[in-house]
């Protein structure tokens, strides 16, 4: 896939123009971190604030310290590795992503951005090159939202979208409190989340979709993130004996939910090609062989780059759900739990990524992200852009998630170049 791996360019070493990342070390780090929460199928289960999360955080901190960085973490456990610059009164140029995964996650979602950023720090350290700004690499807590909902909670607190106390009081499906688990792994810091100034933010990530691979492009220049909304739905019918309750007399919550789930798919298809709709979690109660289900709980996820279409999709599914509930003799409760409007990244930072890919000779295209990322919240408080690399068959949130070593190296090299451009371009005003 990668068209060129030499990014020597025309600059001198003193200007940082001929720096390049160590692709072998980057890949080795990816494989090393895959040990923390490794699954039998070759993926990773590293849910946020678990022991596996603590282990990979400890590895991250030790490794960054070996490269001359200072480690700090804020009150939400967001972890910062800081490399000093020529003028340490300047807010840092930052890179980042996340170390947590889905329950059946792959080796590259999120962590590529962290390890890619680590490879940038390693290149700077090995060369002895000192940037004007400090450079920071960030691990954001609970990007996935797999254990504690919604996703991107702690970059959200950092950006002022959520309150610290609200997030600390969140509970997982087992009733365990977020704040208690953060204290338990030893990563709750004293710096209030959000009081950590930054100049600009860049995030490297796998595409999590098929476009780059299909078009044989090495780099995705991410222009923004599509709008998305999440909901929790509870359907209540009546438990009844499966053998003695006639079909016309049932109030079957699961059957009604199945029709609602199909409606979500129909609505997304009707707004194709940019819309998607997903039901990814469902609970059936009492979940017994010979009991007509009396209650179900499921989630709804709808997305489109146009916020107006997302709003239209919500209106349509609420109307369809209400009609299904009435026809099925069940009651319905829909609770919105997350609303992330569409995001447009900084034109200046997008240009830096574009120039970095062009100068390196990598094939590239503009793209809009379907999934959400921490960068979406950072964009509201600092100039921000993202870099995508292809993943095989567009597969992500799956243990079979796969990328190539040359593409990982290419993405990190573009990240390095973009960071150096930001360091040279942004104002010296603190």
Domain ranges of the chain: 13-226+342-425, 227-340
Assigned architecture for domain 227-340: 2-Layer Sandwich (3.30)
Q: Class of the 13-226+342-425 domain? A: alpha beta
Candidates 256, 279, 261, 259; CA nearest to 332 is: 256
Burial class (CB in 10 A: 0-12, 13-18, 19+), 18: middle
Please state, in angstroms and rounded to a whole number, the distance separating the CA atoms of residues 92 and 80: 11
**CA 234 vs CA 140, 200, 298, 330: distances in Å:** 31, 41, 7, 10
- Does a cis peptide bond (omega within 30 degrees of 0) precede residue 286? yes
Candidates 156, 151, 171, 66; CA nearest to 100 is: 151
Tens digit of each residue's pLDDT, the chain (430 residues): 443 333 333 333 334 668 999 999 999 999 999 999 999 999 999 999 999 999 999 999 999 999 999 999 999 999 999 999 999 999 999 999 999 999 999 999 999 999 999 999 999 999 999 999 999 999 999 999 999 999 999 999 999 999 999 999 999 999 999 999 999 999 999 999 999 999 999 999 999 999 999 999 999 999 999 999 999 999 999 999 999 999 999 999 999 999 999 999 999 999 999 899 999 999 999 999 999 999 999 999 999 999 999 999 999 999 999 999 999 999 999 999 999 899 999 999 999 999 999 999 999 999 999 888 999 999 999 999 999 999 999 999 999 999 999 999 999 999 999 999 999 999 744 3
DSSP-derived letter for residue 192 is P
- Model confidence, pTM: 0.84
Q: Is there a shared CATH topology between the 13-226+342-425 domain and the 227-340 domain?
A: no
**CA 264 vs CA 167, 247, 281, 305: distances in Å:** 29, 25, 13, 17
């Amino acid at each position: 896939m990668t068209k060129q791996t030499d990014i020597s360019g025309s600059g001198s070493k003193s200007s940082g123009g001929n720096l390049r990342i160590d692709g072998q070390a980057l890949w080795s780090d990816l494989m090393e971190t895959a040990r923390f929460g490794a699954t039998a199928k070759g993926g990773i289960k590293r849910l946020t604030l678990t022991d596996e999360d603590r282990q990979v955080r400890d590895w991250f901190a030790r490794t960054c310290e070996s490269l001359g960085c200072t480690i700090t973490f804020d009150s939400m456990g967001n972890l910062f590795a800081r490399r000093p610059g020529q003028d340490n009164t300047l807010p840092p140029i930052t890179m980042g992503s996340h170390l947590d995964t889905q329950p059946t996650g792959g080796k590259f979602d999120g962590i590529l951005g962290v390890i890619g950023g680590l490879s940038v720090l390693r290149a700077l350290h090995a060369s002895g090159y000192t940037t004007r700004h400090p450079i920071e690499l960030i691990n954001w807590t609970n990007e996935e939202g797999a254990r504690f909902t919604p996703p991107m909670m702690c970059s959200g607190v950092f950006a002022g979208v959520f309150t610290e106390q609200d997030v600390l009081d969140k509970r997982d499906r087992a009733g365990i409190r977020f704040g208690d688990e953060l204290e338990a792994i030893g990563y709750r810091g004293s710096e209030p989340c959000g009081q950590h100034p930054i100049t600009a933010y860049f995030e490297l990530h796998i595409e999590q979709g098929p476009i780059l691979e299909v078009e044989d492009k090495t780099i995705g220049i991410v222009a923004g993130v599509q709008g998305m909304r999440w909901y929790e739905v509870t359907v209540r019918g009546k438990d009844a004996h499966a053998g003695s309750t006639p079909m016309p007399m049932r109030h079957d919550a699961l059957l009604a939910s199945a029709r609602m789930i199909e409606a979500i798919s129909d609505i997304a298809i009707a707004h194709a090609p940019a819309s998607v709709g997903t039901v990814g979690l469902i609970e059936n109660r009492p979940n017994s062989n010979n009991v007509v289900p009396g209650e179900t709980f499921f989630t709804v996820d709808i997305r489109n780059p146009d916020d107006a279409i997302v709003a239209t999709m919500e209106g349509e599914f609420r109307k369809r759900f209400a009609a299904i509930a009435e026809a099925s003799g069940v009651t319905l409760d829909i609770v919105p739990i997350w609303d992330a409007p569409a995001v447009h990244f900084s034109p200046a930072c997008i240009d830096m990524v574009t120039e970095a890919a062009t100068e390196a000779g990598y094939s590239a295209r503009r793209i809009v992200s379907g999934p959400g990322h921490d960068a979406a919240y950072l964009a509201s408080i600092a100039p921000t852009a993202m870099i995508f690399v292809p993943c095989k068959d567009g597969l992500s949130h799956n243990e079979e998630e796969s990328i190539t070593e040359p593409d990982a190296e290419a993405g990190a090299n573009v990240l390095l170049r973009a960071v150096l451009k930001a360091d040279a371009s942004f104002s010296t005003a603190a």
